Every structure is written in structure tokens, then in C-alpha cells.
């Protein structure tokens, strides 16, 4: 607001205007305006910093989730293939394999050492309980993750061969051009 607008408004209301007071009032308004502008700028900057932090956090969570899914799918495959080689069920193989790792002993050591044997049995029960917590669709989900990942592997292979084909075609055309120049 200009000084004249305020002054005319006050005169219309029947007040007499003291020039020094009006000037001080306008200076105060200008300072408040400046501080408000700075605060809004700071607030906007803080908002963008918060938005960047939240976005970064969500990306990190997403990456960790993808990594966890890949680890789960790989673990499931290792246990399935290990069980086939050991002629055991996947559940029994998983329990024994993980219990031996947790205990830090071999199967032979657990067979002959009573303390190790007791710990392996307790750890097998823990692994069995943890496996149940994965739910009835765990194997199906692990296979779905591997199927999904395989689609990307196939796409990469197709792109690789596409680039090979482009390279081969370019070379063939270049060769034709070189031969024409010789004739």
C-alpha cells in the first residue's frame, strides 16, 4: 500500500495524519513484508528438501525390497536344488542346512557331538517355525520372482542380439560401399 492510500483513508475516517508516524508505520510494514517473503522462501526451500528426503527414502526402501525379493527367490532355489541332491524334502533340507549354518558345525560333527546335536535340533525347530511364517504361497511367490527376473534376462539377451544384427548389417553395407569405390 502506498502512503497516499493510507493517508487518504485515515483522513476520510476523520483522523489527522502525522507524517512521521505514517512513515514509521510504512517502514514497519515494509520490514514485515520483507521478513514474510524471506520466511516463505525458507519454507519453500525446506519443503523441497523434505520432498527430496522423502523421495530418496522411498527409493531406498524400494531398492531394499527388490534386493530382499531377489535374495528370497535365490534362497528358495538353492534349498530346492540342494534337497534334490541330498535326496531329502525341501523343508527337511532347509531346516538341516540352516541349523548347521547357525550352529557352525558340519553334519558329522553334529552327529557325534551331543551339544552340537542338541543345538542343531533346536535350530531346526526354529527354522521350521520361521518357514511356516512365510505362508503357504512362499514357493509360488519365489518362482514368480524368478520368472519375472528371467523376463528381464531374456530381454537383455534379445537386445544384445539386436545390437549384433545392427552391427552385422552396418558392416555389410560398409563393405558394399568400399567395394563400389574400388570398381
Reduced to 3 states (helix: H, G, I; strand: E, B; else coil), residue 14 is: coil
pLDDT, greater one: 127 or 23: 127
Q: Which three cell numbers stand for residue 123?
A: 535350530
Q: Which three cell numbers stand for residue 11?
A: 483522513
Distance CA 37, CA 4 (A): 24
Distance CA 126, CA 121 (A): 9
Q: Dihedral of the CA atoms 146, 147, 148, 149 (nearest 10)?
A: 50
pLDDT digits (tens, 9 = 90+) for 1-42: 555 666 666 666 666 656 676 677 777 777 777 777 766 667
Cell 527430496, residue?
52
pLDDT digits (tens, 9 = 90+) for 140-166: 999 999 999 999 899 999 999 999 999
What is the Cα 17 distance to its own chain's centre? 65
Q: How many CB atoms lie within 10 A of CB 91?
A: 14
> Domain residue spans in the chain?
1-86, 88-134, 142-183
Distance CA 159, CA 172 (A): 20
Q: Which residues contact 80 (CB under 8 A, 6 or more apart)?
A: 90
Would you mind telling me the total number of residues written for the chain in this entry?
183
- What's the pLDDT at 159? 93
Amino acid at each position: 500500500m502506498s502512503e497516499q492510500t493510507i493517508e487518504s483513508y485515515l483522513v476520510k475516517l476523520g483522523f489527522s495524519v502525522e507524517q512521521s508516524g505514517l512513515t514509521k508505520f510504512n517502514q514497519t510494514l515494509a520490514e514485515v513484508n520483507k521478513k514474510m517473503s524471506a520466511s516463505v522462501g525458507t519454507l519453500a526451500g525446506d519443503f523441497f528438501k523434505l520432498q527430496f528426503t522423502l523421495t530418496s527414502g522411498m527409493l531406498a526402501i524400494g531398492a531394499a525390497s527388490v534386493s530382499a525379493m531377489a535374495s528370497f527367490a535365490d534362497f528358495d532355489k538353492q534349498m530346492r536344488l540342494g534337497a534334490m541332491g541330498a535326496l531329502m524334502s525341501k523343508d527337511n533340507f532347509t531346516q538341516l542346512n540352516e541349523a548347521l549354518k547357525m550352529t557352525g558345525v558340519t553334519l558329522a560333527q553334529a552327529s557325534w557331538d551331543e551339544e552340537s546335536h542338541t543345538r542343531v535340533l533346536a535350530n531346526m525347530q526354529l527354522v521350521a517355525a520361521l518357514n511356516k511364517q512365510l505362508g503357504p504361497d512362499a514357493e509360488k511367490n519365489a518362482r514368480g520372482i524368478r520368472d519375472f527376473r528371467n523376463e528381464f534376462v531374456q530381454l537383455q539377451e534379445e537386445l544384445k542380439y539386436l545390437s549384433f544384427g545392427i552391427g552385422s548389417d552396418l558392416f555389410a553395407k560398409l563393405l558394399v560401399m568400399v567395394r563400389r569405390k574400388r570398381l
